[in-house]
Structure 1
Amino acid sequence: MSDAGQYGAYCEDAAYTRTGNESWREIGMDRLREMEVFVAIVDSGSFTSASEKLGLSTAAVSRALNSLEARTGAQLLARTTRSVRPTDAGVAYLDACRHVLDAVADAEANIGAFHIKPVGTLTISAPVLFGQRFVAPLVNAFALRYPDVSIHAVYVDRTTRLLDEGVDVAIRIGHLGDPTTFAVPLGFVRRRTYAAPAYLQTRGEPVHPRELTRHDCVSFTGVTNPLEWVFRDRGARLPVRLQPRMIVDLAPAAIAAASDGVGITQLLSYQATPEVLGRRLRPILKAFEPEPVPVNMLHVERRGASGKIRAFLEFVTEALRTNPHLRSEDRLRSAVRGKRPPAHRD
C-alpha cells in the first residue's frame, strides 16, 4: 500500500480518537499528521482539495482539523460556503507547523538524499535583466557541475505562477503574496528615479516628486504603475500621478530612453548601475525613495523534497546573498572599486 493509502487507512480507522493506553509515539504521529492536514487545507484552499492531495476522505480531513483545534483550544480556520482561510491564531500556528514539518522532512532527506545525484529537468524563472546579469552565469555553472540535470530557464518581466506554469524555482523581486510557496530571502534592491545629465541641464532637476508632473517621464511597467510612481515623504507613502511621454515593458528600453534624454524614469537600482557608473544617468529625488524591495528565491517543495531543487538552492543562494547589488550602496561602491566592503551588516 502507498504512503497515502496507509495514511488514509490509519485516519479512517483511528478516526482521530485517543485512549489512555496510547503511547507517546502514537500521539506524536497523530500530531504530525494533523499538522500536515492543516497545512494542506491552507495551501490548497479547501477541504476537498486537501483530501485529494493527501489521499484521504473529506470526512477524515475534517476530523483531523477538529482534533487539532480541540487540542490547541483555538479556532485555526474560518470557514464559509465559498472559502477557507486561517484565523489570526491559524496564521501563527501555520508558521510553526511548517517549521516542524520542514524539520522532519529535512531529517528524512538527510538520511538518504545527500548522496543522490540530482537528475531531471529544472525549470527556473527570473526577471529579464536580473536573470541575464546575475542568474544566467550561476545557471551555466550549475549545468556544468550537474550534467544529468536539464535546464529550462525562463527570463520574463512578469510574475510567474510556479504551480500553474510548472516552474521549480523563481527569483521574485517584490513583496510576496503566495502562501503555497517557500521563500529563501536573498537581499534587497532600491526603486530609484534617474535622469540623464543632459536632460537635467536643459529641463532642470526636480527637488520634489510632485514636480514630475511638469517633466517628461518614461514609465517601465516592470517596476512601476505606468501612471503612478510611489515615493516616501517623511515616512509616509507619496503617490504621484503622471502622464508619461513614453511607456515601455522592458528595462533596457527604459534605460536607453532615459540615457538619450527622452525623460526621467524609475528603475530598480541594479538595472541602472552601468549607466550611473558611466555617468549616462544620475539618480535624483533620493531623499524620497520608497522602502527597499525584497528579493526572494521561491520554490514549491519543502527543503530536501527534490534533489535537483535542493542542489540548485544550495548552489546559488550564497552567491546571490553576497552579490553587492542586493546589499548596501557602500558595499556596491567597494565591490566596483575592488576594495573590501565594510564589516558591518545591513
Structure 2
Amino acid sequence: MDKLNAMAMFVAVVQEKGFAAAARRMGVSAPVATRAVSELEAALQVRLLVRTTRVVQVTEVGERYALDCQRVLNELRDIEQSATGSHGAVRGKLVITASSLFGRMRLGPVVRGYLERHPETEIECRYVDRPVNLLSEGIDVAIRIGELPDSSYHAVPLTTVRRVVCAAPDYLARAGVPRHPDELIDHCVIAALSVESGSEWKFTDGAEPIAAPVQPRLATSSTEHAIQAAVAGFGLTRVLDEVVREQLAAGSLVEVLETFSPPRMPVHALHLQGRRASNKVRAFIDLAIAHLRED
C-alpha cells in the first residue's frame, strides 16, 4: 500500500463525503478508493469511517486522523515547492469563512487587499452563521469570535471585540435609559441569536458576573436584522461593537450599560496547517492581523 496516496484518498473521502466523488476527484475508480481506505484501516487497526448504503460518516478517531493526514500532505507540498524553487510564491485558491455580518463588514478590505497584492490567487468567501468543519468543508481559514474549545486547529489571534447594548435615541427617550442590567426585563428587547442567548444576557459588576434575564419581543438569527430594528426605534439589542461602529459614530444608535460590559472577546484565525502553513494562508492571516489591529 502506498501510504501517502492512501492518506490523500482518505482525506478526499472525508471532504467529498463519499467514495464515488472522492474517486472522481483523485482520478481513480470507486473500488480503488474503497480498497485504499480499507487497507489504511487494516494497517492502523482502527475504524476511520462508518459506511452505510447512503452515507459515509467519519468516526471520532477518523476525524483526528484526517486532520493529521492533511497536515502531513501540506508539509509534503511545501517540501516539493521548496525543491522546485516556488516556495515563496503565493498562488492558488483560498477558501475563507466567517460569520455573515462580521465577514462582510470587516473582512472586505482584507480580501481585496490580498487579491491586489497576489495576482495569482483567488478567494471564495463563505459568510455563514453556523459552525463550520474546516476539513470536511474544504476551508483554508476560519475567523472565529469568542473563546475557543480545545481542538486540532491552529489558532492565530487577530483582534478583540466586545458586546454592546444599544438602542436608537428616540427609543431611549420614549422608554427610558436602563441604568442596571436588571432593568432590561422591563424593556423591549431585540435578541441577535448569533451573538447571545435570547433568555439572558451576561454582564459584569466589577469582578462579579451578572446574568440578566430578558424577554425578547423580537428574536432573530440575523444580526443585520437586529441592528435594523434597533435603528428603527423598536428596542434594545446587543451586538458586537465592530458591526455597529458606523451607527454609534453617527448617533443613530446609542450604547447603554457600558460600565457593565463583560471582558472583550478574542477573534482568531483558524487553519489546519500548523506552524508551517502554506504561503497563501500565511499571507492572508498576516494581512488580516495588520488591518484589524490597525483599525
Normalising by structure 1, report the TM-score.
0.61
Give yes or no for contact 2:165–2:236 (8 Å, CA) kept in 1. Answer: yes
Give yes or no for contact 2:3–2:40 (8 Å, CA) kept in 1. Answer: no
The alpha carbon displacement at 1:141 in A equals 2.2
Q: Are positions 1:287 and 2:287 aligned together?
A: no
The alpha carbon displacement at 1:298 in A equals 0.8
**Counterpart of 1:175 in 2: which secondary structure?**
coil
- 1:142 corresponds to: 114
Q: Are positions 1:236 and 2:208 aligned together?
A: yes
Offset from partner CA, 1:151-170 (integer Å, 9 cap, x none): 21111223322122211101
Distance (whole Å) between structure 2 residues aligned to residue 186 and residue 244 of structure 1: 32
Offset from partner CA, 1:274-321 (integer Å, 9 cap, x none): 111111111111111111111111111123342322232233322222
Query: CA, structure 1 residues 122+303, in 2 after alignment: closer, same or farther (shift >3 Å)?
Result: same
Letter in 2 for 1:221: L
Give yes or no for contact 1:231–1:237 (8 Å, CA) kept in 2. Answer: yes
Query: CA, structure 1 residues 303+109, in 2 after alignment: closer, same or farther (shift >3 Å)?
Result: farther
Distance (whole Å) between structure 2 residues aligned to residue 174 and residue 265 of structure 1: 19
Letter in 1 for 2:135: L
Distance (whole Å) between structure 1 residues aligned to residue 44 and residue 129 of structure 2: 41
- 1:268 corresponds to: 240
**Aligned counterpart in structure 1 of residue 199 of structure 2, from 206, 227, 239:** 227
Give yes or no for contact 1:110–1:304 (8 Å, CA) kept in 2. Answer: no
- 2:275 corresponds to: 303
Distance (whole Å) between structure 2 residues aligned to residue 108 and residue 170 of structure 1: 25
Q: Which has the larger radius of gyration?
A: 1
Distance (whole Å) between structure 2 residues aligned to residue 303 and residue 108 of structure 1: 14
Q: Are positions 1:160 and 2:132 aligned together?
A: yes
Distance (whole Å) between structure 2 residues aligned to residue 311 and residue 255 of structure 1: 33
**Counterpart of 1:137 in 2: which secondary structure?**
helix
**Counterpart of 1:167 in 2: which secondary structure?**
coil
Alignment length, in residue pairs?
Answer: 237
- 2:285 corresponds to: 313
Distance (whole Å) between structure 2 residues aligned to residue 108 and residue 57 of structure 1: 26
The alpha carbon displacement at 1:109 in A equals 9.3
- 2:158 corresponds to: 186
Offset from partner CA, 1:186-232 (integer Å, 9 cap, x none): 12111111111111111111111111111100000111112221111
TM alignment of 1:198-217, pairs within 5 A:
198-217=170-189
Give yes or no for contact 2:81–2:87 (8 Å, CA) kept in 1. Answer: no
Give yes or no for contact 2:105–2:243 (8 Å, CA) kept in 1. Answer: no
Give yes or no for contact 1:232–1:289 (8 Å, CA) kept in 2. Answer: yes
Letter in 2 for 1:251: T
The alpha carbon displacement at 1:233 in A equals 2.1
Distance (whole Å) between structure 2 residues aligned to residue 114 and residue 236 of structure 1: 55
Letter in 1 for 2:280: K
The alpha carbon displacement at 1:237 in A equals 2.0
* Higher relative contact order, structure no. (Cα contacts within 8 Å, ≥ 6 residues apart): 2
Q: Are positions 1:278 and 2:270 aligned together?
A: no
The alpha carbon displacement at 1:261 in A equals 1.2
**Counterpart of 1:245 in 2: which secondary structure?**
strand
TM alignment of 1:15-94, pairs within 5 A:
57-58=44-45
Distance (whole Å) between structure 2 residues aligned to residue 302 and residue 317 of structure 1: 17
Gaps of 5+ in 1: 6-48, 60-81, 85-100, 324-346
Distance (whole Å) between structure 1 residues aligned to residue 222 and residue 153 of structure 2: 26
Letter in 2 for 1:245: R
Offset from partner CA, 1:111-143 (integer Å, 9 cap, x none): 657744233321101122222222122212222
Distance (whole Å) between structure 1 residues aligned to residue 275 and residue 132 of structure 2: 21
Give yes or no for contact 2:159–2:266 (8 Å, CA) kept in 1. Answer: yes
Query: CA, structure 1 residues 52+286, in 2 after alignment: closer, same or farther (shift >3 Å)?
Result: farther
Gaps of 5+ in 2: 6-36, 47-58, 62-71
**Counterpart of 1:262 in 2: which secondary structure?**
coil
Counting aligned pairs with the same residue, the percent is 35
The alpha carbon displacement at 1:3 in A equals 7.9
Distance (whole Å) between structure 1 residues aligned to residue 45 and residue 219 of structure 2: 50
Normalising by structure 2, report the TM-score.
0.71
